[in-house]
């Protein structure tokens, strides 16, 4: 009955979404207070029902109810409990139910928490959120039912893709989906404001925490996904410009631009139409990513579905939502006042350049992601657009972007003097020049892009601290600290990317037990290879001793090659040792005809900076969000008592 209960909750939630939409439209058009007042509780109950449906599916996975088709296809009694739990969203239907649950709960949270918008705009926002939800409810109920029964039930399930049997699966998808769906809230805010012609500072201040929250979660999701791919796939890379990776990067780029734009609107009443457009674009990129992952047009460990009919359904939703929002934008943009003016040399001006550069990078990634798919559909030939395109096209723009990011926070609002700005950033420029000289002397022959990355990281790292100069640090607002830490995180992450790209050393050999090999500053020796048994797999485990130089302290690494019976799959589990200045990364493959083991080892200097920087960026965003909310609460008018 758990499955039937979950399905019933899903149907009821869909019905309430329809009611929420109808009440919202009628209430906004008529202005009747009873209709407006009814929308909030409907949104809350809808969110609760989606949560009940999702908890029901988790229960079915944890108890391995093989009479449910989805459980039988993705679960097994031999799986560890964590992967039974996380396996709930490690498949197409379960992940879509998670999507809808977050959508419904987010709508309920908006209904409960939001008090800054006028009532009509809020209700229009909730109606837009319900309209988005309705499409996905229809998708689940008519094309991807997660609670469909099997008769007869199999004796054992097929299990989860072994590559997904990793603790990272428990955290990476939920954070990413929370980010995607957070952008749906921003989209609904934009639609609501357009409907009521209420695009102003209050709208921006109301939307900003949701954008910040979505951006933080997207940052965490992308960072966690990058590290998961790095250690789990055994290829030693942290980013490959895979279309599914790009599907998460594109909403992040749009959300980053939106975050800066909404700040201008909230603070200075500028960039009104542009902010609304970015909210539409950001959610559009989430929908494009959803389409790519679930349409069956991609083959990837990240891709969930291979059924083109489902892709067509999502494509139709994408056309309806985005086409409708753009049509509404076209109709109402004339009624959105331009907002306050500012000079080119000003903080607003730097944020506009920031937005344009982010948009250009987004366009490059979008074209590089979609072009092979479009070309294949037209010519039938498979094409690939790889790192050379993305690095050469987006890399220079990213360097300009961080340079603008370094200068922007030291500029004044509305109007500034170019010479004064130059004086304020003179020290970071000097540090960057010294870094350039040092890298050229210490690492002759380094490629141009990593060189510029290291130089920019040094300059931006110092410039990011500039907003704290001459301030009383104890009285500095929390959102300023958040901006500083986020920008510093970008510099740290960039330094890690550049160092890993420039200085990584790789050794690939066929080796025998007892043989030693050099990789970077380390000497590694294969000591032993033994079979072992895991909870639901068998494996060959190698024991490797690594020393930094001849007299270094020994470190033991134990990479594995695992064999899973259900489904039958082999995976490489890398052994990674982290030290202060980098990571030693070792993978062992199968033996050859002469009994030699394939050994692949990398020394990756400062590679951990990539994810440390990502964590700093997200932490800075969190501080900024808390600081903004505290400031608004402090300045809110006192409650009225009758």
8 A C-beta contact, residue 329 and residue 194: yes
Residue 433's CB: how many other CB atoms inside 10 A? 13
> b/e per residue, 566-598, with b = 16+ CB within 10 A?
beeeebbbbbbeeeeebbbbbbbbeeeeeeebb
8 A C-beta contact, residue 89 and residue 176: no
Cα dihedral across residues 442, 446, 450, 455: positive or negative: positive
Q: Which stretches within 464-516 are classed as H helix?
A: 478-503
Residue 500 has what pLDDT? 94
Q: Which residues contact 8 (CB under 8 A, 6 or more apart)?
A: none
Rounded CA gap, 603 and 524, in Å?
Answer: 11
8 A C-beta contact, residue 252 and residue 225: no
pTM: 0.91
User: For each successive 10 residues of the chain (642 residues), what is the average pLDDT?
Assistant: 94 96 92 86 96 97 93 87 87 90 94 86 94 93 91 83 74 86 90 89 89 95 91 84 88 95 87 90 88 66 58 82 84 72 87 94 93 81 83 92 90 89 92 96 92 95 91 90 96 96 94 94 95 88 93 93 82 92 94 89 96 97 91 66 41
Q: Facing residues of 557 across strands?
A: 544
Q: Which stretches within 333-424 are classed as H helix?
A: 347-379, 387-407, 418-424
Q: Which helix (H) or strand (E) holds 505?
A: strand 505-511
Domain extent listing, the chain: 1-165, 505-607
> b/e per residue, 523-535, with b = 16+ CB within 10 A?
bbbbeebeeeeee
How far is residue 126 from each of residues 49, 205, 276, measured CA to CA in Å? 16, 17, 17
Query: Is residue 401 exposed (0-12), middle (13-18) or buried (19+ Cβ within 10 Å)?
Result: buried
Q: Facing residues of 570 across strands?
A: 563
* Centroid of chain to Cα 373: 22
Q: What are phi and psi of 174, to 5 degrees?
A: -60, -40
Any idea what DSSP says for residue 466? G
Residue 295 has what pLDDT? 64
DSSP string, 231-287: HHSSS--S----HHHHHHHHHHHHHHHHHHHHHHHHHHS--HHHHHHHHHHHHHHHH
Residue 572 has what pLDDT? 86
Residue 641 has what pLDDT? 43
DSSP string, 133-188: HHHHHHHHHHH--TT-B-SSPPSS-----GGG-STHHHHHHHHHHHHHHHHHHHHH
Any idea what DSSP says for residue 220? H
Q: Which helix (H) or strand (E) holds 39?
A: helix 33-62
Residue 234 has what pLDDT? 81
Rounded CA gap, 604 and 601, in Å?
Answer: 10
Rounded CA gap, 622 and 599, in Å?
Answer: 42
Residue 319 has what pLDDT? 87
In 3D, which of 305, 237, 199 has the Cα closest to residue 583?
237
């Amino acid at each position: 009955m758990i499955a039937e209960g979950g399905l019933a909750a899903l149907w009821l939630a869909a019905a309430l979404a329809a009611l929420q939409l109808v009440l919202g439209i009628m209430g906004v058009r008529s202005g009747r207070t009873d209709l407006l007042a009814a929308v909030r509780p409907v949104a809350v109950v809808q969110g609760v029902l989606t949560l009940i449906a999702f908890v029901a599916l988790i229960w079915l996975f944890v108890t391995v109810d093989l009479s449910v088709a989805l459980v039988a296809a993705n679960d097994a009694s031999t799986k560890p409990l964590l992967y039974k739990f996380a396996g709930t969203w490690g498949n197409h239907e379960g992940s879509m139910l998670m999507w809808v649950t977050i959508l419904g709960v987010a709508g309920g949270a908006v209904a409960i928490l939001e008090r800054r918008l006028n009532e009509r705009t809020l209700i229009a926002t909730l109606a837009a959120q319900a309209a988005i939800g309705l499409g996905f409810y229809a998708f689940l109920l008519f094309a991807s039912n997660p609670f469909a029964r099997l008769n007869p039930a199999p004796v054992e399930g097929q299990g989860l893709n072994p590559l997904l049997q990793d603790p990272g699966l428990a955290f990476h998808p939920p954070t990413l989906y929370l980010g995607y769906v957070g952008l749906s809230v921003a989209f609904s805010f934009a639609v609501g404001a357009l409907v009521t012609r209420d695009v102003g500072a209050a709208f921006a201040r109301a939307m900003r925490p949701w954008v910040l929250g979505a951006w933080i979660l997207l940052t965490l999701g992308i960072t966690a996904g990058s590290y998961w791919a790095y250690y789990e796939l055994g290829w030693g890379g942290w980013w490959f410009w895979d279309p599914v990776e790009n599907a998460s990067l594109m909403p992040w780029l749009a959300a980053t631009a939106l975050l800066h734009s909404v700040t201008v609107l909230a603070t200075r009443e500028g960039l009104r139409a542009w902010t609304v457009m970015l909210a539409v674009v950001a959610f559009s990129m989430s929908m494009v990513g959803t389409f790519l992952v679930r349409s069956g047009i991609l083959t990837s460990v990240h891709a969930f579905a291979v059924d083109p009919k489902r892709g067509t359904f999502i494509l139709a939703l994408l056309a309806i939502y985005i086409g409708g929002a753009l049509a509404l934008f076209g109709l109402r943009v004339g009624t959105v006042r331009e907002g306050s003016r500012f000079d080119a040399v000003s903080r607003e001006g730097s944020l506009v350049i920031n937005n344009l550069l982010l948009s250009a990078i987004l366009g490059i990634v979008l074209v590089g992601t979609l072009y092979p798919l479009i070309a294949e559909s037209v010519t039938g030939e498979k094409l690939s657009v790889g790192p050379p395109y993305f690095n050469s096209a987006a890399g220079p723009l990213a360097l300009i972007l961080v340079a603008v990011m370094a200068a922007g926070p030291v500029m004044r609002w509305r109007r500034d003097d170019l010479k004064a700005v130059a004086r304020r950033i003179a020290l970071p420029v000097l540090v960057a020049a010294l870094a350039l000289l040092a890298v050229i002397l210490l690492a002759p022959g380094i490629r141009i892009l990593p060189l510029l990355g290291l130089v920019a990281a040094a300059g931006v790292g110092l410039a990011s601290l500039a907003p704290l100069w001459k301030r009383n640090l104890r009285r500095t607002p929390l959102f300023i600290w958040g901006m500083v830490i986020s920008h510093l995180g970008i510099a740290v992450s960039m330094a890690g990317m550049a160092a890993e790209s420039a200085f990584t050393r790789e050794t690939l050999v066929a080796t025998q037990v007892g043989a030693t090999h050099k990789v970077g500053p380390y000497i590694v020796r294969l000591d032993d290879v033994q079979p072992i048994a895991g909870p639901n797999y068998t494996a060959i485990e190698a024991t490797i001793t690594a020393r930094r130089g001849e007299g270094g302290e020994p470190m033991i690494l134990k990479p594995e090659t695992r064999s899973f019976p259900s489904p039958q799959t082999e995976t490489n589990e890398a052994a990674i040792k982290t030290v202060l200045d980098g990571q030693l990364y070792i993978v062992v493959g199968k033996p050859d005809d002469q009994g030699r083991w394939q050994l692949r080892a990398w020394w990756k200097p400062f590679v951990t900076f990539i994810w440390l920087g990502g964590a700093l960026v997200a932490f800075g965003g969190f501080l900024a969000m808390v600081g903004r909310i505290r400031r608004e609460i402090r300045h809110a008018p006192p409650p009225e008592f009758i």
